[in-house]
Copies of this chain bind each other. A is one copy, B any other.
Amino acid sequence: MKENELLSIKTFSEYTGVKQHILRHYDEIGIFQPVVRGENNYRYYSPQQITALNMVNVLSDTRVLLREIGELQHERSPEIVLDVLQKHERGIDAELRKLHDAYAIIHMYQHLILEGMLANEKELTLRDMEEFPIFLGPENTFSDEGLFYPDFIEFSKYAREHGINMSYPVGGWFENMDAFIKSPSSPTRFFSTSPRGTERKPAGKYLVGYTRGYYGPMGDLPEKFRVYAAENRLQFVGPVFVIYVLDEVSEKDPDNYLAQVAVQVMKKRLR
């Protein structure tokens, strides 16, 4: 390759890794043009343009608008470009957060759905569960005839105000088993499974049960928990966590939604 040898669009495309139709597009909108147009209207690029094109690649990779790149083609300096990069850094940060959320939400749902598919719905089981970050909402009021929507909406707003993506699965939190048994469809608070939460569902030995149906009703689970604990000399420790492992995301029929109820337990001391 001589210094003044010119490259066809095919060659230039191969050398730079930028596709031909993108090069034509860049030409068309005026942000990067071949040094020469042949008499047959062919585009010819110089070897120097291989590195020059890098300016476009760097900026478009960092999400600078092509329009803005075009403006920078005509006038740019270290100061100006530094400014542009600083501006776009925030955009990238925001996108990165969103994508991290998307990633975590996918994994959360994969985990829950699998859990739902393998769930033992017949009887309660004792399981070791891992620690888990949660974002706890304000206390619910259930002022509206026991409907959960108003409180749920309040929680949604509250969570969004705290930068929590509401696409993370949401669960119900009862301060203890007594609260759960007393009114199983009215959690003391809601929680999001967003990893941005600062509270924890602690690791430990949990008693776990499942029940089918639309949000709220817990069927015979409260009674089952009471009986199981009595028969096995267990006592309940800390809050009760209710989470729908199968919900509107994976089930069409609300009657098939599957709730998981989990509460930490300890052996009762004999006296």
Q: Tell me the A residues contacting B by CB distance below 8 Å.
A: 1-3, 15-17, 47-48, 50-52, 54-55, 57-59, 61-63, 75-79, 81-82, 85-86, 88-89, 92-93, 95-96, 98-103, 105-107, 109-110, 113-114, 116-117, 144, 147, 149-150, 152-153, 156-157, 160, 165-167, 215, 246-252, 254
B106 x A88 contact (CB < 8 A): yes
Task: Tell me how far the C-beta of A234 lies from the nearest C-beta in chain B, rounded to whole angstroms.
Answer: 31
A102 x B92 contact (CB < 8 A): yes
B106 x A85 contact (CB < 8 A): yes
Looking at chain A's contact residues, is the secondary structure mostly helix, strand, loop, or mixed? helix
Roughly how many angstroms separate A96 CA and B254 CA in the complex, as a whole number?
A: 34
Task: Tell me how far the C-beta of A20 lies from the nearest C-beta in chain B, rounded to whole angstroms.
Answer: 17
Given known pairs A77-B250, A149-B50, the reply for A82 and B96 (CB within 8 Å) is no
A61 x B100 contact (CB < 8 A): no
Roughly how many angstroms separate A50 CA and B150 CA in the complex, as a whole number?
A: 11
